[in-house]
Copies of this chain bind each other. A is one copy, B any other.
Amino acid sequence: MARPKPLSGFPEFLPAARIVEQRVLASLADTFELHGFASIETRALETMEQLTRKGEIDKEVYVVRRLHAEAGAADELGLHFDLTVPFARYVLENAGHLAFPFRRYQIQKVWRGERPQEGRYREFCQADIDVVGQDTLAAHHDVEVARVILEALERLHVEVGLPPVLMRVNNRRLAEGFYRGLGIEDHLAVLQRVDKLDKIGAAAVHELLTADLGLSNAAADSCLALATISTADESFVAGVRALGVRHDLLDEGLEQLAEVVRAGQAAVPGRIVADLKIARGLDYYTGTVYETELSGFEHLGSICSGGRYDSLASDGRTTYPGVGLSIGVTRILVPLLAKGTLTASRVVPSCVLVAVDAEETRAEADVIATRLRARGIACEVAPRADKFGKQIRYADRRGIPFVWFSGNEVKDIRSGEQLPADPDAWLPPAEDLRPVVCSTTGQA
């Protein structure tokens, strides 16, 4: 067959890039587990009933059917397009076996049948965390998930070389309370118009608020003034108070948002701002909302978003409120890998290539390799008893730093230094043990 071509929208990694992805995912999982989040995976397929419950997104769904299903059989299953719908279903299905509040993280591929364009993929990896309660979920969990994500992304910045992030947070209660304090009933209609601020500018939004919604000039001014408040500390509270609007819901929102910003700054200074124009998914979020930019890659849009749902799921008797965030791992990695910002130090796990003198003595090389592996040193045995120069080139081509020769001498092929070594005691420098991620940003 002819050489196959990549499918647009379905990124695949070569081994070095996959090493970067593995390090990123392992680091995320470790941070999540340090915070007590349990891993789950859900099946890739959901019933179409589940997937289309929210209506709007059905055009992005990939429908799945057996090749030999009867013609005209109803579409029953589709690939999940996020990890929230499957998680809500999992919670309802297994509620009797889960302990609430239930913290879970979930790192899986999702699929969307949309037209591929830059930064949009048809298959991509997400890393989600959520905390879900039974009937109630305390507001401090809104603080917790922001802190976990900030710590996770900062660790990637420090350990892997990911650019630093800026998380923008807002609170729906704050906006709703403010609008209600102004005497506005249809707060969602206002939010919808204010959400266009970055796209169409203040004058156009003002026009929409007054002409479409019949707000007074003063009220429209107040709405716009609220939306332009953005501070890296709790001073936004004073800024909002200065606008002179009062409402209980506003007080509640201000208090909750202040706590998220305060705790976020304490956990990872300089990575969070209160930004009162952030709206996000207009329909379902009911409290804190989060979005996150990658410094220098702002054109990617938000690489980590989420919020609070008062009803993540409900079976009619019990409601499950939740709060969570979703990191777009593929969305972050593909551009960083394409730009060469992140690379791996080698393309194989092997730290050592054990050279082979002659095919008759391959078993001896295998024994050396086994002894090294017993101490956690990844190694492979040369595939052919070629001249040593060729075996060294084999290692060099893969980035394997050491070649082990019979007679127990080990050569660092970067420096050329060759020294006697004991296969039951020799250790490579710690940074050579497994491939590491190299960053051109200088952080890792």
Residues of A in contact with B (beta carbons under 8 Å apart): 1-7, 10-15, 18-19, 22, 33-45, 47, 50, 53, 58-69, 75, 77-79, 89-90, 92-95, 97-99, 101, 103-104, 109, 111, 113, 123, 138, 140-141, 144, 263, 267, 313-316, 347-350, 362-363, 366, 370, 373, 376-381, 383-384, 397-398, 434
Q: List 13 A-B contacts (CB under 8 A).
A: A1-B53, A3-B92, A4-B47, A14-B94, A34-B378, A35-B380, A36-B350, A36-B380, A44-B44, A44-B109, A59-B67, A62-B65, A267-B370
Within the assembled complex, what's the spacing in Å between the Cα atoms of A60 and B67?
7
Residues of chain B with a CB closer than 8 A to A314's CB:
1
Within the assembled complex, what's the spacing in Å between the Cα atoms of A7 and B13?
32
Q: Which of B33, B64, B68 contacts A79 (CB 8 A)?
A: B64
Q: Are A38 and B347 also in contact (CB < 8 A) when A67-B58, A79-B64 are?
A: yes
Q: Are A348 and B1 also in contact (CB < 8 A) when A99-B397, A123-B45 are?
A: no
Instruction: Judge whether B62 and A63 touch: CB under 8 Å.
Output: no
With both beta carbons as reference points, the residue of chain B lying nearest to A102 in the complex is identified as B15
Residues of chain B with a CB closer than 8 A to A15's CB:
38-40, 98, 104
Residues of chain B with a CB closer than 8 A to A59's CB:
66-68
Q: Which of B18, B67, B384 contacts A78 (CB 8 A)?
A: B67
| Count of this chain's copies in the oligomeric assembly | 2
Q: How far is the CB of A101 from chain B (nearest CB, A)?
A: 5
Instruction: Judge whether A62 and B67 touch: CB under 8 Å.
Output: yes
Instruction: Judge whether A12 and B35 touch: CB under 8 Å.
Output: no
Instruction: Judge whether A316 and B2 touch: CB under 8 Å.
Output: yes
Instruction: Judge whether A34 and B376 touch: CB under 8 Å.
Output: yes
Within the assembled complex, what's the spacing in Å between the Cα atoms of A13 and B103?
15
Interface of chain A, helix or strand or loop or mixed?
mixed
Instruction: Judge whether A43 and B348 touch: CB under 8 Å.
Output: no
Q: Which of B1, B65, B68 contacts A316 (CB 8 A)?
A: B1
With both beta carbons as reference points, the residue of chain B lying nearest to A112 in the complex is identified as B66
Q: How far is the CB of A321 from chain B (nearest CB, A)?
A: 13
Q: Which of B12, B141, B144, B315 contacts A90 (CB 8 A)?
A: B12
Instruction: Judge whether A19 and B39 touch: CB under 8 Å.
Output: yes
Q: Are A42 and B97 also in contact (CB < 8 A) when A3-B315, A34-B373, A59-B67 are?
A: no
Residues of chain B with a CB closer than 8 A to A348's CB:
36, 38, 99, 103
Residues of chain B with a CB closer than 8 A to A94's CB:
14
Residues of chain B with a CB closer than 8 A to A397's CB:
99
With both beta carbons as reference points, the residue of chain B lying nearest to A62 in the complex is identified as B64
With both beta carbons as reference points, the residue of chain B lying nearest to A63 in the complex is identified as B67
Residues of chain B with a CB closer than 8 A to A267's CB:
370
Q: Which of B50, B64, B362 contacts A64 (CB 8 A)?
A: B64
Q: Are A349 and B37 also in contact (CB < 8 A) when A79-B64, A315-B3, A316-B2 are?
A: yes
Within the assembled complex, what's the spacing in Å between the Cα atoms of A363 and B143?
11
With both beta carbons as reference points, the residue of chain B lying nearest to A109 in the complex is identified as B44
Nearest first, the 8 closest Cβ-Cβ pairs linking A and B are: A36-B380, A66-B113, A33-B349, A36-B350, A15-B38, A10-B43, A34-B373, A61-B67
Other 9 A-B pairs with CB < 8 A, given A3-B315, A36-B379: A1-B92, A1-B313, A1-B314, A10-B43, A34-B378, A36-B348, A62-B64, A99-B348, A103-B348
Residues of chain B with a CB closer than 8 A to A313's CB:
1
Instruction: Judge whether B41 and A12 touch: CB under 8 Å.
Output: yes
Residues of chain B with a CB closer than 8 A to A380's CB:
35-36, 103
Instruction: Judge whether B378 and A123 touch: CB under 8 Å.
Output: no
Q: How far is the CB of A427 from chain B (nearest CB, A)?
A: 15
Instruction: Judge whether B18 and A39 touch: CB under 8 Å.
Output: yes
Within the assembled complex, what's the spacing in Å between the Cα atoms of A30 and B81?
31
Instruction: Judge whether B1 and A315 touch: CB under 8 Å.
Output: yes
With both beta carbons as reference points, the residue of chain B lying nearest to A147 in the complex is identified as B366
Q: How far is the CB of A309 from chain B (nearest CB, A)?
A: 15
Q: Which of B64, B93, B113, B138 contacts A4 (CB 8 A)?
A: B93
Residues of chain B with a CB closer than 8 A to A63's CB:
64-67
Q: Are A41 and B67 also in contact (CB < 8 A) when A1-B92, A138-B384 are?
A: no
